[in-house]
Amino acid sequence: MDVDDTALRRLNLNLIYSLDAILHARSLTDAGRQIHLGQPAMSGALRRLREQFDDPLVTFTGGEPRLSALALVLRPKVRQLMQGIDETFRLSLHFDPRTARRTFRIATGEALEIMLMGRVVGTMLGKAPFVDIEIVPLDHGAPASAFSQGVDLIILPQRLAVPGLPERPLMAEHLSCMVCDRHPSVGQALSIDEYLALPHAVVGDASWPAAHFSRSVRELLARRRISLRTSRYAALPQLLTGTELVATGSTWLFQHQASMGALRVFKAPFHVERDVIVAQRPAGAGDDPAIEWLLGQLEQATATFPGGRDWHRPR
């Protein structure tokens, strides 16, 4: 692609930072605060951007920004450009965790955050004392959107992975049940009839959606008596303690939670195929040695899960 040098010379590239802030802020003052510019400077930047694009871009009325049609198209493109600029200036051929100053942004679901990241964060910070870690929620319906927010890595079930991006398998997930350790009617295992007779606790954003199950399992789960719904996996240990409730979900998460409280985990009374958990980086990230180090730490953590790395790699 040929580059129009004249157009580039006309455009003050510093305005890209102003444009990104303006397109994502609720007011011009908020935009200036994001990039440490005062109101007069931001007003001047908006005026020059309007001249550059021959478009109003955004108006702030009644405390709400109203983006033009062009601004709505520009918004994801500019954020992607900002991400590319950030990656360019952070790029290095070497990564020394003992001295590197870097922030890793990881997007994943709550269950994986509790179970996987809980095991690896302490080790990582011990090896890399100047590294910061930020874990943000992952929208499983649109996982690629995390990369437009500057995320370095997404961790999710392989069945939900972003098409076209390389996958790094981390672990294999299995399904189990968890009950209070003092449950009056549950021994070391459950039959299907016993499973259906019990009251159930479910998590609203469960990472084992019905579409992943066979028809027979979906029909079985639909017959459960749901006595409790919660929005957080983290709440399950407290909610199950002292009750007859049974929860169904990730073996590794439940084992992690049971290790810290009076809970018991056992195999589900029906078969579900394993779920491979993968990590993905944004397109164009290449072989960034910092990201490779991060992936290595995750792989070391999952290697400690008994059977956790038992998967079939995709052909």
Per-residue pLDDT of the chain (315 residues; tens, 9 = 90+): 454 555 545 556 678 888 988 898 888 888 888 888 888 888 998 999 998 889 999 988 777 888 999 989 988 888 877 777 766 666 656 788 899 888 899 999 988 888 888 778 888 889 999 999 999 999 988 999 898 788 999 999 999 999 999 999 999 888 899 999 999 888 888 899 999 999 999 997 444 555 578 889 889 998 999 999 998 999 999 999 999 999 999 888 998 899 888 999 999 999 888 889 999 998 766 678 889 999 999 998 888 775 555 544 443
Are 167 and 279 found together in one domain? yes
- Which CATH number does the domain housing residue 290 bear? 3.40.190.10
Does residue 255 sit in helix, strand or coil?
helix
Are 64 and 209 found together in one domain? no
pLDDT of residue 8: 47
One-letter-per-residue 3-state SS of 151-191: CCEEEEEHHHCCCCCCCEEEEEECEEEEEECCCCCCCCCCC
pLDDT of residue 261: 81
Structure tokens at 39: 């109101």
Residue 314 inside a domain? The answer is no
How wide is the angle at C-alpha 82 spanned by C-alphas 81 and 86, nearest 5°?
A: 120
Residue 24 inside a domain? The answer is yes
Are 281 and 238 found together in one domain? no
Location of structure tokens 């589900």: 268
Are 146 and 260 found together in one domain? no
Final residue belonging to a domain, choices 90, 121, 147: 90
Are 207 and 141 found together in one domain? no
Residue 12 inside a domain? The answer is yes
Residue 162 inside a domain? The answer is yes
Q: 301-314 b/e with 16+ CB inside 10 Å = b?
A: bbeebeebeebeee
Residue 206 inside a domain? The answer is yes
Location of structure tokens 């164009």: 284
Residue 97 inside a domain? The answer is no
Are 219 and 231 found together in one domain? yes
| Helix residue ranges per DSSP H, the chain | 5-10, 15-24, 28-34, 39-53, 69-90, 110-112, 118-127, 192-197, 215-222, 236-240, 251-258, 289-302
Are 23 and 50 found together in one domain? yes
Residue 95 inside a domain? The answer is no
pLDDT of residue 68: 92
Residue 312 inside a domain? The answer is no
* Dihedral (CA of 306, 172, 109, 134) sign: positive
Are 152 and 290 found together in one domain? yes
How wide is the angle at C-alpha 271 spanned by C-alphas 270 and 277, nearest 5°?
A: 130
pTM here is 0.69
Strand 131-137 versus strand 102-108 pairing type: parallel
Are 236 and 257 found together in one domain? yes
Are 165 and 211 found together in one domain? no
Are 58 and 73 found together in one domain? yes
- Residue numbers of the domain that contains 203: 175-267
Phi, psi (5° rounding) for residue 141?
Answer: -80, -25
Are 250 and 205 found together in one domain? yes
- Which CATH number does the domain housing residue 76 bear? 1.10.10.10
pLDDT of residue 279: 96
Structural domain count of the chain: 3
pLDDT of residue 226: 93
- Please report, for residues 59, 66, 283, the alpha-carbon distance to residue 74 in angstroms, rounded to integers and kept in the order given: 15, 14, 19
